[in-house]
Amino acid sequence: INYENNIKVNMLNYFEKIEYVLKYSFKNFHLDGEEKSELKELLNDPGNTFEELNYARNRAFDVVNEYYRGCENINPLSLKWLENVVKTIDNARERFYSEASEAYFSPGDDCANAIISLLRTAHSSVDICLFTISDDNIGREIMDTYDRELK
């Protein structure tokens, strides 16, 4: 979907662009590579909230429901479209699920390096429980992470 030549589409907000991509790609019941890339780009914006991604998921179901309202026959390609869209959205939502919890207890560089690596790769939030920070590198990385405005 080439937005560059369409000033009107460029001025749409996140919700309107999601709506546009969903309806545009649903016309032929196929999420092609370009449409999928555009959807991924919209969904993977670091500023998106979990609620915004939920909105996109709900709208995908709404697009199908609205199309088939009052109809008895469902085109199986539309269900394949919905499956592909939902998978794309769910992949973007994964960054909000943090199932990994780890504890480190030891002197030495391995522990400090692991903690620094985790801090550097954090996407949305960091939970830290500590008594004192005895490693200046970890202290600096915590401050850098704080400066990135994670939760």
The sign one gets for the Cα dihedral 31, 34, 37, 38 is negative
Q: Can you give the pLDDT at residue 43?
A: 93
Highest mean pLDDT among 4-13, 24-33, 87-96, 101-110: 24-33
Q: Can you give the pLDDT at residue 71?
A: 87
Q: In the Cβ-directed half-sphere of 36, how many Cα atoms lie within 13 Å?
A: 15
Going by C-alpha positions, the residue among 151, 21, 61 that lies closest to residue 98 is: 151
Task: Mean pLDDT check: name the lowest of 10-24, 57-71, 72-86.
Answer: 10-24
What is the residue whose two structure tokens read 């179901």? 61
pLDDT grade for 70, boundaries at 50, 70 and 90? confident
For residues 12 and 45, the answer to whether their CB atoms sit within 8 Å is: no
Q: Can you give the pLDDT at residue 53?
A: 92
Going by C-alpha positions, the residue among 81, 93, 90 that lies closest to residue 22 is: 81
**Distance from CA of residue 45 to its chain's centroid?**
7
Return d(Cα 122, Cα 145) in angstroms, integer: 8
Q: In the Cβ-directed half-sphere of 27, how many Cα atoms lie within 13 Å?
A: 8
